[in-house]
Amino acid sequence: MKNILPLFLLACFPFLPPAFSQAGLLDSSFSDDGKVITPFPVAGSDKIFSLAVQPDQKILAAGNARGTLNMDFGLARYLPDGSLDTDFGTGGRVTTDFGSGADVGKSVVVQNDGKILVAGYAVVNNVSQFALARFLENGELDSSFGVNGRQTTVIGAGYSEGWSVALQADGKIVVAGTIYSSPSSGQFALVRYDAQGLPDMSFGVNGQVIMPVGSLDARAQAVVIQPNGKIIAGGYALNGSYYDFALVQYHPDGSVDSLFGTNGYQLSDFSGFDDQAQALVLQEDGKIVAGGWSKSGSGLQSFGLARYLANGQRDSTFGANGITKLNFQPFAIHDAIQALAVQADGKIIACGYSYVPVYEVYNFALARFLPNGQLDLDFNGTGKVATAFQVGNDQAYAVAIQADGRIVAGGGSASGDFALARYLPGSVVSTPPTPFSVRSVFLYPNPVMQAVKVAYTLQQAQTVSIALYDQNGKMVIRLIQQLQQTAGRHTEDLRLPEGLSAGLYFLELATPSGRITLKMVK
């Protein structure tokens, strides 16, 4: 009689965490070594500034990419295994030009209808202004949005830069950024658009809100929308001689909420020197987390995190009086958080870059914090992980969490290309946004000799990949890569590598809707 390993629990638990998953390790099922570098057709200083995970678990990466003449919006889409999605744009990549000047995509979100919004700024007629582009699911510009899929907005009478985009429950679009009266004098700026990309005249003045924060200079870097419709913009503001973290809360009509912080805004000083927030994220309990960097009197720059209550006051249960700092190196010359995400268990992922003095280069840098602000030592054994792609500067600016809890970080590589890395989360698995479409998975015989069969049923047509891992989570071989299968029952006859030693292994079956890990003994 055959030895058969069934998975009966799939109906109730569609995503099973790999038994070998150690938090903070690079995920070797993602492009074999956990890292992906993507050049665009024209070589340039290309960077990912924002990431979004679609319901089908495809990964969208937005930033800037060299176009024919200047920098353009750059957008790429990846399959869950890290390969480019060739059904998107041209070979998985799209560049979008707004005019004769430089264009930079800073933030990406996916609408409920699957359309993709990228916000940033564009130089048009020598004036930098807010810029939005909307794409169909295949990467083509959506001609029903703005003017041929694009929209630019001049803020006030000065230069402006859009930096972050968020979607309201009613489908309206909020973009936060900065308007400059001079290179060293900025103010928070918000613009709200309707679903067609036109300025929403019910918001502020002609769809715009401009607000000075602190003294002389302020920059809005991030925006989030609370469940009650209030809008929070975060960044930094000059408060006398130094910059502080700055948060402002607005009512849904764009007016400032005077009950938030002090007269509508909150400034946070870490240690009497420059502190700049670059990212915001909302927790499930309504608390607000801001991340960026903080300098000391000696000039060392560290990861900086602050958490606030819904009323804008610092949360005293987080870190030390609402703030926490982290040095990646003994002498943190230039460490900075650029993006934040919250796991299903409430742990906070901070992503950015760290300068390594001994090599004089930057690396991707990720840290995980417990809900109380303490470093999570279960993450890579130290609470932090640094990743180098190439010899030179590799800097991360974006982070996203997939439905199975895996952590994706994006930025730029030393070669001037898009760079992605994916990390294992440990035992954290979030609720999948779409049902897993594989049922009745069997592996036999088990134990195996040299060949093994995997039988499974697909509820819909999709691609299937199967890889073999050792008990430490290191990929041994990819047995099937992106095999297109119809709905129904399938059996794969797999031959294991010659000379494979006896022991415990794992077969991972992956589809765009999730993955299953099966224990195997040889």
Q: What is the pLDDT of residues 435-452, one digit of tens each?
A: 556 766 777 787 888 888
Nearest CA among 521, 510, 418, 456 for reference residue 29:
510
Phi, psi angle pair for 73, to nearest 5°: -55, 135
Query: Has residue 16 got a pLDDT over 60?
Result: no
Contact status, residue 199 vs residue 207, Cβ threshold 8 Å: yes
Average pLDDT for 68-77: 92
Model confidence pLDDT, tens digit, residues 380-408: 999 999 999 988 999 999 999 998 899 99
SS3 116: strand
pTM for the model stands at: 0.80
Q: Give dist(CA 262, CA 252) in Å, integer.
A: 19
Q: Give dist(CA 162, CA 131) in Å, integer.
A: 7
CA 91, 92, 95, 96 dihedral sign is positive
The string of DSSP codes covering 352-403 is: EEEEETTTTEEEEEEEEE-TTS-B-TTSTTTSEEEE--SSS--EEEEEEE-T
What pLDDT does residue 448 have?
85
Q: Give dist(CA 271, CA 28) in Å, integer.
A: 40
Average pLDDT for 109-125: 95
Q: Give dist(CA 248, CA 214) in Å, integer.
A: 11
Q: Which of 103-117, 173-187, 269-283, 482-496 has the lowest mean pLDDT?
A: 482-496
Average pLDDT for 290-299: 92
